[in-house]
Amino acid sequence: MELIVVFVAAVLAFGLSTVSGGGAGLLLLPVLARVLPTAAVPAALTVGTATSTVSKLALFRHHVNWAVTRRFVPGAVPGVLLGAYLLKYLNPLYLEVFIGLFLLSNLTMLRRSAPATVVEPAPVGWLKLSSIGLLAGFLSGLTGAVGLVFNKFYFQYGLSRDQVIATRAANELLLHLIKLALYLSLGLLTGPAWQAGAVVAVAAVLATAATKRIVHYLPEASFRRLGYAAMVLSGGFMLTAAATELRTTDNLRASTALLGDELEVTGWWRSRSLTLELEIDESPAIEQPVALAQLPPSVQAAMHRLQQGRPIIKIEEVWQLNHHYYELYLNDRGRVVSLDVVP
């Protein structure tokens, strides 16, 4: 049943990807995360996206802008090697949060009127394109698919709709092959990952072939708007899925509370918490719970003097503009007493 869901989602995602210039991988990340371990998701996704890339290159090969590819690939290769290597040491979910926020920032582009015609590509130097390739490869090695992140670059460079699809495929084909070899050597291409990747691959080929004809009838302005819309949609999916997963795995969450004239915004990460306190008549303050044993000896001695046998409820370290101190909360016969201790 899970693989059927993956297949349906992949058909829809790659169908949208073909008519908007990309985004299938980012849309599928949260779907695959529900059926595979986090570390195996990029590997399975790469199996499917590599197949999609081959099919797109076969269908649109006459539209590749080789000037872009020759400058993009040399930087992308070391980037993907580094990203895949760090996959075992870094949690890609945190990276997905930042990518999601970046993609959502393209919401403003939907309000702008797209040009009626495609501008001639401006010359772009080796350094700039290689740097973009390095970043694209690194992010792709960590997450499995971030090509859509760089759609804005393709649009600004002046590529037509067919050139965007073909050039992206040419740029990413070698990266996918490198990633597959690396994921295999790292033991990330497990049986379930192969199965999910194969399902995505079949869906990708079917969707690409079915939507190829639609692309030729799609105006350039509509293609660009769909591209930005896909970026925003992918960003929303990625951000929501990553935040949900991090809430489960790392207890990443936040809450707000209004206490009198104070607004407290508290964030949790794993076993730690941090509070931002906003008060009308005072500058903002950041508060963090701290244990008595972790405090400097002089502060501990001061708190023992103030305690006077009363039970300690909690201790917070407070950072304020040009002010650093500790708050000691005591239980005074059922009443909460707060005392400030300056180190």
- Tokens coding 241: 């899925």
Tally of domains in the chain: 2
What are the φ and ψ backbone dihedral angles of 118, each rounded to 5 degrees? -85, 130
Q: What's this model's pTM, rounded to 2 decimal places?
A: 0.55
Gap between the Cα atoms of 286 and 329, Å rounded: 16
* Same domain flag for 159 and 15: yes
Q: DSSP alpha helices (H): ranges in the chain? A: 2-20, 24-33, 41-60, 66-86, 92-104, 126-143, 151-157, 161-185, 191-216, 220-249, 297-307
Q: How many Å is the maximal CA-CA distance in the chain?
A: 83
Counting other chains too, the contacts that 188-194 makes at CB distance below 8 Å and 24 or more residues apart are 188/39, 188/40, 188/42, 188/43, 188/87, 189/40, 189/43, 189/44, 189/47, 190/40, 190/43, 192/35, 192/36, 192/40, 192/44, 193/36, 193/40, 193/43, 193/44, 193/47, 194/44, 194/47
Gap between the Cα atoms of 158 and 22, Å rounded: 16
* Same domain flag for 290 and 144: no
SS3 316: strand
Q: Which helix (H) or strand (E) holds 284?
A: none
* Same domain flag for 273 and 204: no
pLDDT tens figures, 224-280 = 677 667 777 777 777 787 777 777 777 777 777 765 566 777 777 777 777 766 665
Structural domain boundaries enclosing 317:
253-341
* Same domain flag for 176 and 130: yes
* Same domain flag for 85 and 162: yes
* Same domain flag for 33 and 62: yes
* Same domain flag for 75 and 204: yes
pLDDT average, residue stretch 120-140: 71
* Same domain flag for 238 and 264: no
Q: Which position has the higher pLDDT, 125 or 10?
A: 10
Q: Which one of 249, 277, 295 terminates a domain?
A: 249
Gap between the Cα atoms of 116 and 132, Å rounded: 27
pLDDT of residue 45: 84
pLDDT tens figures, 140-172 = 777 666 666 666 677 767 777 778 778 888 887
Q: Which one of 204, 226, 249 terminates a domain?
A: 249
pLDDT average, residue stretch 283-309: 87
* Same domain flag for 325 and 195: no
* Same domain flag for 121 and 231: yes
Q: Which one of 207, 234, 249 terminates a domain?
A: 249
* Same domain flag for 261 and 230: no
